[in-house]
Structure 1
Amino acid sequence: MKKIKVILLILGLLTTNIVVATKPRKPIESHIQPTIFSLTMVMIHDVVNPPAAARFYSYSMLSAQCILAAESKEVLNPKVYIKGFPSINANRPSEANANLAALYSILETGRLMLPSGFQLEADQQTLLEKWKNEGYADKEIKASVAYAKEISPQIVTWAKIDGYLKLSTLRRYRPLKGDAYWYPTPPAYMEAVEPNWRTIKPMLIDSAGQFKPAPPIVYSAEPTSDFYKFAKEVYEVGKNLTEEQRLIAAFWDCNPFAVNTSGHMSIGFKKMSPGGHWMNITSIACNKINLSFEKAIVLHSLVATTLMDAFISCWDEKYRSNRVRPETVINRFWDIHWQPLLQTPPFPEYTSGHSVISTASAEILTYFLGDHFAYTDDSEIYFDLKPRDFTSFRQAANEAAISRLYGGIHYMDAIKNGQAQGAKLGNFVLEKLKANGVKPFIN
């Protein structure tokens, strides 16, 4: 009888050990999207402007990529394709898990760089608790966090030399005199956003002006002029929008600056940036095909750095041509009370930022994941907008571009030439990657 009890006790202990040892872990890839969205939420809180948001995403993702590249030669090293990328020095603790460290570093880099980065501390704690519940050992978690905290400060130190910290010392923007030039628009008449962004050091392109687009159509109040026709098109389209066109415009609004006024009261509405939208599209695509953790991090990093350079290129042209917005022209020519469907962003019109950055991002995603990648974009659910289905990244980029006409905030030449600008920039990045042997993730 005693022997039977002993055997049963041993079997019980063995069974218990088996349960603990095989405790299911959530796939590490599933943590990428919510981790990046944590950055997005803090940027929404801080009302981070679109160019700056792309910069924050870029450095945060590069920190994760660095950790994985040090772990495996199969992971693309940023030093290979980013000129001047620093040598990262860190001793990886033997207990550290590179994947955990990479995820944590995204939040840590954001914590160190974002104005309200301290808010990410709660997200970091939540991430640690998730890992503990998934069965990761305390030693492994602590070592991984320590490893990330060695890498992130080095990335942040490198970020300090890109010119961002000098922006506040540069000459402030003053509207130019003349009907052809941009002037702050209602309802808030906000001052120009990032007029000196062209001084930021790019990640991948050679210079801010490398992809200077064709000149904008020359301003003219003559009814027979091309400019007059472009402006009239915005006016007429805006008066006859279909319900589908309204939905498209709202879906791609991505305006962190929206202000509604009623009498003497002004109410601000916060949304994710255009770059944040494309970062989430990248996450959606990676999740759909269960892309490996390493490849997913690299792809997010490449999209982020491309976004950063696309904004630098676009902003270089915006403050060169300094073209007046449709709202100002339409109020001047035809209807003083006319308002666009979307609130006019506080910076010059040419070229369309959505057209440039969406097209560039789509080129990167198309190369790595294929030209017929169908997906459902639910990025805007948080803002009470229904998901939209797309058959490819390029289709999504085209819709994002034309949404600016529907929204009443861009002329068609800014949209078309912006798309051309973005395509050239995106393909330049891809040629650089191809030259270093980087191949598509899906053949």
Structure 2
Amino acid sequence: ARPRPTRSSRSGIAAGEAAADEIIAQRYAATATGLVPIDGSGSPHSPPYTLPPGLGVHQPTPAPEFPAVTLPAFTGWSAVTPFALDSATRFRAPPGKIFKLNSLRYALEYEFVRYVGDARVRGGRPNSQASDIPRFWVGGGLDWNANARVVVANRGLGRWKQARLFALLNIAVSDTHVTNLESKYFYNFWRPVTAIRWAHDGNPLTRSDATWRPFLQTPPYPDYPCASTGMTGAAAQTLRRFFHSDALPFTRTVNAPATPLPAPLIELPPKTLTRSYARLTHAENEQAIGRVYAGIHFLEPCTAGLRMGNQVADWVYSRYLRPK
């Protein structure tokens, strides 16, 4: 049976709840200027996205299943006050090599995602690794609190150490998201669905397809760098720094939701997926390639996101919540 709370434990709970309420209030005030109405109308601090169509330029992505969320979101998130970073631009991603649309590098990444991320290809192989991986990681970087709980289990950490770890992890993840979105809207690089449907990109090695659809729903913001891998890199690097090791094996089961597919393919039903990792790096790399299998990212934005997350986590870990 659960022990009855004592007066001191009740006081501690009350203090924790009060602190949480204050943090939530402060964060709401700090993030309000970064919010944009879902209809894309903007706000005084977040003007609507108005860049005209052009080569390499992000545009609202077609989403027949979710027509209400196709307009670019989080356009003002770089105005959000980070928990730890002194500036949203401190770890801005460097320019991507695939920005050169007439390059061989761009053509290779284009053709790779055009094939492996095609909803028709993935839907035709519903039980392949390349179809299971993006469905397993459908939560993107938000999966890492759950992953960390599995990693931490049975390691004998007291509550204070666990609290410190999860605080560091979530500070790093949150600040990476601010930095990531600043970079996204600094570069405004297009998503695969826009690029592949574009008739003439100036590269003789690419082939357009006006009917192409990604395997998973394209998020409503620019491609470079990837936000999900940014959060993944931040969380994984925090765990590495805390435990002084990359060899932190974990296994996790996810109930993947149904996946809509274009006709004549039939929607993929929900699926229970279990995956295991011997090292955090393995999980990071799989999550990155999974965004390409999903058809929603080129590969370079995914690796750039991982590097950004690692950098932010190192900066946060070395400066905040240091043990006495």
Mapped pair 1:345 → 2:219: yes
CA distance in 2, matches of 1:287, 1:404: 28
What is aligned with 2:49? 174
Instruction: Please say if residues 217 and 226 of structure 1, whose CA atoms lie closer than 8 Å, have aligned partners that are also in contact.
Output: yes
CA distance in 2, matches of 1:213, 1:368: 25
Q: Give the 3 Å change call, closer, same or farther, for CA 415–163 of structure 1 in structure 2.
A: closer
* Higher helix fraction (1 or 2): 1
Aligned positions, number: 284
Question: 1:247-268: CA deviations, max 9, x gaps?
Answer: 11111122xxxxxxxxxxxxxx
Question: Which structure 2 segments of 5+ residues have no match?
Answer: 36-42, 200-207, 258-270
Aligned match for 2:110, one of 231, 245, 255: 231
CA distance in 1, matches of 2:306, 2:14: 43
Q: CA deviation at 1:316?
A: 0.6
Instruction: Please say if residues 283 and 300 of structure 1, whose CA atoms lie closer than 8 Å, have aligned partners that are also in contact.
Output: no
Secondary structure of the 1:389 match is strand
Instruction: Please say if residues 402 and 415 of structure 1, whose CA atoms lie closer than 8 Å, have aligned partners that are also in contact.
Output: yes
Secondary structure of the 1:387 match is strand
Which protein is bigger by CA-based radius of gyration? 1
What is aligned with 1:215? 95
Instruction: Please say if residues 200 and 312 of structure 1, whose CA atoms lie closer than 8 Å, have aligned partners that are also in contact.
Output: yes
The 5 A counterparts of 1:273-284 are 274-284=140-150
Q: Give the 3 Å change call, closer, same or farther, for CA 145–212 of structure 1 in structure 2.
A: closer
Aligned match for 2:247, one of 372, 376, 379: 372
What is aligned with 2:203? none
Q: For residue 57 of structure 2, what is the amino acid of its counterpart? A: Y
What is aligned with 1:285? 151
Q: CA deviation at 1:324?
A: 0.9
Secondary structure of the 1:362 match is helix
Secondary structure of the 1:388 match is strand
CA distance in 1, matches of 2:242, 2:16: 27
Mapped pair 1:324 → 2:190: yes
What is aligned with 1:248? 133
The 5 A counterparts of 1:361-400 are 361-369=235-243, 370-378=245-253, 380-381=254-255, 383=257, 384-400=271-287
CA distance in 1, matches of 2:101, 2:174: 36
Q: Give the 3 Å change call, closer, same or farther, for CA 209–403 of structure 1 in structure 2.
A: same
CA distance in 1, matches of 2:211, 2:29: 46
Q: For residue 303 of structure 1, what is the amino acid of its counterpart? A: L
Q: Give the 3 Å change call, closer, same or farther, for CA 166–141 of structure 1 in structure 2.
A: same
Mapped pair 1:417 → 2:304: yes
CA distance in 2, matches of 1:420, 1:141: 42
CA distance in 2, matches of 1:350, 1:141: 47
Question: 1:312-340: CA deviations, max 9, x gaps?
Answer: 11101111111111011112242111111
Q: For residue 198 of structure 2, what is the amino acid of its counterpart? A: R
Secondary structure of the 1:419 match is helix
The 5 A counterparts of 1:7-406 are 133-137=1-5, 139=7, 142-165=10-33, 167=35, 168-177=43-52, 178-187=54-63, 188-189=66-67, 190-217=70-97, 219=99, 222=102, 225-238=104-117, 243-254=128-139, 274-333=140-199, 334-369=208-243, 370-378=245-253, 380-381=254-255, 383=257, 384-406=271-293
CA distance in 1, matches of 2:197, 2:89: 32
CA distance in 1, matches of 2:186, 2:108: 23
Question: 1:173-221: CA deviations, max 9, x gaps?
Answer: 2231123211111223521111110111111222111111120236566
Question: Which structure 1 segments of 5+ residues have no match?
Answer: 1-132, 255-273
Secondary structure of the 1:288 match is coil
Instruction: Please say if residues 58 and 222 of structure 2, whose CA atoms lie closer than 8 Å, have aligned partners that are also in contact.
Output: yes
Instruction: Please say if residues 216 and 321 of structure 1, whose CA atoms lie closer than 8 Å, have aligned partners that are also in contact.
Output: no
Q: CA deviation at 1:144?
A: 4.3
* Runs of 4+ deviating beyond 6 Å: none
Question: Structure 1 vs Structure 2: percent identity of aligned residues?
Answer: 24
Q: For residue 19 of structure 2, what is the amino acid of its counterpart? A: I
What is aligned with 1:44? none
Instruction: Please say if residues 377 and 390 of structure 1, whose CA atoms lie closer than 8 Å, have aligned partners that are also in contact.
Output: no
Instruction: Please say if residues 377 and 389 of structure 1, whose CA atoms lie closer than 8 Å, have aligned partners that are also in contact.
Output: yes
Question: 1:40-65: CA deviations, max 9, x gaps?
Answer: xxxxxxxxxxxxxxxxxxxxxxxxxx
Q: Give the 3 Å change call, closer, same or farther, for CA 201–245 of structure 1 in structure 2.
A: same
Instruction: Please say if residues 359 and 394 of structure 1, whose CA atoms lie closer than 8 Å, have aligned partners that are also in contact.
Output: no
| TM-score normalized by the length of structure 1 | 0.59
Aligned match for 2:318, one of 411, 414, 431: 431
Provide the alpha-carbon RMSD of the alignment. 2.5
Q: CA deviation at 1:400?
A: 0.9
Secondary structure of the 1:184 match is coil
CA distance in 2, matches of 1:416, 1:159: 29
Q: For residue 80 of structure 2, what is the amino acid of its counterpart? A: I
Instruction: Please say if residues 141 and 227 of structure 2, whose CA atoms lie closer than 8 Å, have aligned partners that are also in contact.
Output: no
CA distance in 2, matches of 1:219, 1:396: 27
CA distance in 2, matches of 1:289, 1:249: 29
Greater RCO structure (CA 8 Å; 6+ sep): 2
Q: CA deviation at 1:286?
A: 1.7
| TM-score normalized by the length of structure 2 | 0.79
CA distance in 2, matches of 1:221, 1:415: 18
